[in-house]
Structure 1
């Protein structure tokens, strides 16, 4: 199913909410956020790493527009290449990052093993309309920091929208998950990760 989250400046889901989203969609997580000058992206197939990055940069991210995605794999391996959000470029020159929730049934076969990537590729080329709802739900953040839902926005709290709330059925943040999250935070801190330059995952610059 996956879940997309968008947050306007000054708003973020609380850490427990993010953990519940992650626990129920455990196959990769990513965030794209804009600091007022440029966009920053962190993606990792291990959700704990992305949650740790968000935690380590909480104040900066909370002050910024942000797009977050937690993946539940349906098509394609659990790997960085299939972890949302994905970069896009439109014919009018707009660039940014986009995330998908659902299954794009018409694009389960294509140049990529991910139906999401195939649908986004077709959209970039003007071959499909992601706002139709036929291929699932999509939200994006432009290289200038504009958040836009193409389809599927559902308000969660003030300034925060999601693609669905089925993850709310999870009843607890389990101890193994909590330990994995804390271990990732400890590892980030031990290795001196810079606020804007997470080691090991390239930071995308427009």
Structure 2
């Protein structure tokens, strides 16, 4: 399933939301953000490494535009190569980084193990527009810091949009079962998940400056 987050300059998701997104989609995370001069990209198959990076650069990231992705693996191994976002280059010379939420059913077979990478490859080559939502949701950030969604996004807070909100309530994390993550809810119960004590259960402190 995954989740895509975009943040306009001056805005960021709160740490609680980022922690929930990460817990619900634990198979790698990445961010592409623009500091007003250039685009920075950081990806890691270990979500905690990405959260630590955001923590270390919070103010700079918040001042710019950002594209963040947390992955729930369905096609391809959990590794850096399959961690979103992915680079793209259009025939008109535009470059940037792009993330996917969902399953790109038409692109489960191709040059890459990741259906997302296959779909983005086809899109940049003009073979599809990916705007009908059939293959999931896609969002990008250009090398100049412009954020665009190819499909409809959901507003989370002022200046912050997401591809979905199913991660907001762990009691409703049923999708991982459908995708083969049979232990997701059992692990939460075993750890004594408490909505009123989110940071303690995720192991992530309130690290927002």
Shift of 1:174: 6.6
Quote the residue 1:195 is aligned against: none
Give the number of equivalent residue pairs: 181
Partner SS state of residue 30, structure 2 = strand
Larger displacement relative to structure 2 (4-13 or 125-134): 125-134
Aligned partners of 1:164, 1:63: CA distance in 2, in Å?
24
CA RMSD of the aligned region, Å?
1.4
Alpha-carbon separation, structure 1, partners of 2:113 and 2:152 = 24
* Alignment match, 2:152: 152
Tell me whether 1:28 sits opposite 2:48 in the alignment. no
In structure 2, how many angstroms separate the alpha carbons of the residues matched to 1:132 and 1:48?
Answer: 33
Pairwise CA distance, 1:53: 0.2
Are positions 1:19 and 2:19 aligned together? yes
- Paired residue secondary structure (2:150): strand
- 1:106, distance to aligned residue in structure 2 (A): 0.6
For structure 2, the residue ranges without an aligned partner over 5 or more in a row are 171-193
CA contact (8 A) 2:75 2:108 kept: yes
1:194 is matched with which residue? none
> Per-residue deviation at 1:98?
0.2
The normalised TM-score by structure 2 is 0.84
Q: What displacement does 1:78 show?
A: 0.2
- Could you say which residue in structure 1 is the equivalent of 2:37? 37
Q: Which residue number corresponds to residue 108 of structure 2? A: 108
Cα offset, 1:152, TM superposition: 2.9
Aligned to 1:198: none
Could you give the per-residue CA deviations for residues 70-128 of structure 1, whole angstroms, max 9, x where no partner exists?
00000000000000000000010000000000000010011000000000000011011
The Cα shift of 1:176 comes to 6.3
Q: For residues 24-74 of structure 1, give each alpha carbon's deviation from its aligned partner in whole angstroms, at most 9, with x where no partner exists.
A: 000000000001110000000000000000011000000000000000000
Tell me the distance in 2 between the aligned counterparts of 1:61 and 1:163: 20
CA change 1:43–1:164 in 2 (3 A) is same
Equivalents in 1 of 2:26, 2:94: separation in Å? 31
TM-score normalised according to structure 1 size = 0.85
